[in-house]
Structure 1
Amino acid sequence: MNTSTHAVDMPAFVDHSHLTVIDLPMVSSFYQKAMGLSVLEKSASGETLGVAGRPLLTLTTGSNAARAPRNAPGLFHTAFLVPDRKELGRWLAHAAHNNIALTGASDHLVSEAIYLDDPEGNGIEIYRDRDRSEWTYVPDGTVKMATNRLDLQALYDEAPKDDWTGQESGTVIGHLHLQVSDIPQADAFFQDILGLDVMARYPGASFFASGKYHHHVAANVWNSRGQPKRETGMTGLAGYTIRFNDPARLETAVKKLDELAIPTTRADGAISLVDPWGISLKLSA
């Protein structure tokens, strides 16, 4: 893939996901054995996992961790982007040989995606992007996406059946899909304040990105319409990071946050806030 069109080379992208869990050893073991992440850091309350030294996922627990209801705003899925179709197939073969349960698989025109849940019900997508030359943009600037059947058998048959030892270097978080309370509120936050473009809309969902990527953030109300903000200690998505390759875009977003009197704190060059659904968000350059 041309690196200049890669998800994390865009003006802004999702860099990190942070989950609160109840059983830290069990969930961490799953992300290591099933998903192929490596532990990069450990603390008394959590672990940070990643690929080739790049931190992608932090898991923490605490005495007040309580299982979130399925309709609470928060995570729909964390989406891990692998370098190419071969790597997606290698992971599928690993999943098949280790009885890792899948929840679905789709051809989205721009990408091929496989879905599953971690042991505490946090959604996961693992996907590969098609080359942008195969994407179809429409005159309003959005991109054509669909949810078509993915031929898992063909993907498996094409894959090398070598010993899979983890995700290949270059695997990143390609996007984060959120459950939110209200789509107009999500449009206002991600488009009007953070400066992301709306790249697609489905009934009850918006897809946002920078650099004409298909989406760095998605938001839906399929399970969570009208639900109140997350409460402290709920399991699931505790926080996420959006990193800006374009510092001017970060400055513009911070100015809008200030104009709207949205509370922020600043430390180590990053801006921290709480999004409209009670999820911690860090903006960094």
Structure 2
Amino acid sequence: MTLASSASSEHGALPHPGPEHPLSMPAFVDHARLVVRDLPLVSSWYQAVMGLSVIERRPSGETLGVGGRPLLTLTTSNHAALAPRNAPGLFHTAFLVPDRPALARWLVHAARQQVALDGASDHLVSEAIYLADPEGNGIEIYRDRPRADWTTLPDGMVKMATRPLDLQSLYAEGLALGPGPASGGGAGWAGMEPGTALGHLHLQVSDLPAANGFFRDVLGLDIISTYPGASFFSTGRYHHHLAANVWNTRDAPRRSADMTGLGTYTLRFTDGTALQTALAALDRLEIPTTRHGDSVSLTDPFGIGLTLST
């Protein structure tokens, strides 16, 4: 199976981030789709709390993003079943902001909106804040440290950790900074700053060796870091474009297609040869795929929908 190369996405030209940005790597997560039960509630929450804007409305759902770039689609169905906590699917969607000031400004906004947070961590390569949307879908909002500050271990892995993040200091920094560029000179916070992207997705899976086999051996991603019960995958030695853990879902049955939560996500390849290699591996393993123009859709070993595109 072959795909023609494309210079733009369905919604417009791809951005031109810096050379170390995750979207500059040979493959990256481009978009995610969540199945929700209360579309108006969840959509308004992502707009008010996360600062996303509606890019497109359809009868079945809405696509939200930043600066015209689609990041998240919300769809709804009368037949959607509430996904149990131990179902494979989404652990969190991770929104990457341009820098620490953007993260600090968002924290001030969240505090003023009395948004409940689930945690905050310093991962050495990044600083992250965690929360959940009204239907329990996990969210990370984070900023990356410069790659020059990352540590590569003797085995070639990128060193990551989970240490406390000083939220009070970050909040104070945000207060001192005032509104960001998205405000257009206004007095208040006006949404996510330009350049915000979907930096990575963290998945729940039922079998970690099977996840390693699929994401590394079939799709061609590198295992860049490991943690008890979790693997982190990337291209271009980013700290991770995808992660998979079994903390809540070890040995769980496959995800059902009619569940709420993560319906599908898109992995976009800038390296056409790498995509062709992945497609050949899918064909060799007789994993069913469906072609839509310049993209190929499939279901991973855990029942999660995935689209591969150029």
| TM-score, normalization by structure 1 | 0.98
Matches of 1:45 and 1:257 in 2, distance apart?
30
Q: Give runs of aligned pairs for residues 116-135 of structure 1, distance below 5 A.
A: 116-135=131-150
Which of the residues 21, 39, 46 maps onto 1:31? 46
Match 1:245 to one of 259, 270, 277: 270
- Residue aligned with 1:57, SS: strand
1:65-84 to 2 correspondence within 5 Å?
65-84=80-99
Aligned partner letter, 1:55: P
Question: Does the 8 A contact of 1:110 with 1:129 survive in 2?
Answer: yes
Alignment of 1:246-265 (within 5 A): 246-265=271-290
Percent identity between the aligned chains?
65
Please give the alpha-carbon distance, in whole angstroms, between the structure 2 residues aligned to 1:194 and 1:66: 29
- State whether residues 93 and 161 of structure 1, in contact with CA within 8 Å, keep that contact through their aligned partners in structure 2: no
> Which residue pairs with 2:222 in the alignment?
197
1:96 aligns with 2:89: no
Q: How does 1:210-225 map to 2 (within 5 A)?
A: 210-225=235-250
- The code of the aligned residue for 1:186 comes to A
Distance 1:232 1:134 in 2: 41
The 8 Å contact of residues 73 and 277 in structure 1, kept in 2 or not, is answered as: yes
Once residues 307 and 155 of structure 2 are traced to their aligned partners in structure 1, the CA distance between those partners, rounded to angstroms, is 30
Equivalents in 1 of 2:293, 2:109: separation in Å?
Answer: 39
- The 3-state SS of whatever aligns with 2:264 is strand
With 267-276 and 115-124 compared, the bigger mean Cα shift is at 267-276
Q: Which residue of 2 aligns with 1:11?
A: 26
Pairwise CA RMSD: 0.8
In the alignment of these two chains, the number of paired residues is 284
Match of 2:13 in 1: none
In structure 1, which of residues 161, 169, 172 is the aligned counterpart of residue 178 of structure 2?
Answer: 161
Code of the residue aligned with 2:83 in structure 1: it is: A
Q: Distance in 1 between matches of 2:227 and 2:257?
A: 30
**What's the CA shift for 1:36?**
0.4
Report SS of the residue matched to 2:216: helix
Partners of 2:241 and 2:19 lie apart in 1 by 15
1: CA distance, partners of 2:89 / 2:40: 22
Q: Which residue of 2 aligns with 1:278?
A: 303
Could you say which residue in structure 1 is the equivalent of 2:213? 188
Deviation at 1:232, TM superposition (A): 2.3
User: TM-score, normalized by length of structure 2?
Assistant: 0.91
Spell out structure 1 runs of 4+ moving beyond 3 A. Answer: none
User: How far apart, in 2, do the equivalents of 1:85 and 1:33 lie?
Assistant: 21
Tell me which amino acid in the other structure corresponds to 1:247: G
AA aligned to 1:282 is T
In structure 2, C-alpha distance between the alignment counterparts of 1:195 and 1:219, rounded to whole Å: 15
CA distance in structure 1 between the partners assigned to 2:40 and 2:301 by the alignment: 31
Q: Distance in 2 between matches of 1:140 and 1:214?
A: 15
**Unmatched 5+ stretches in structure 1:** none
Counterpart-to-counterpart distance in 1, 2:302 and 2:40: 28
Q: Structure 1: which amino acid aligns with 2:158?
A: V
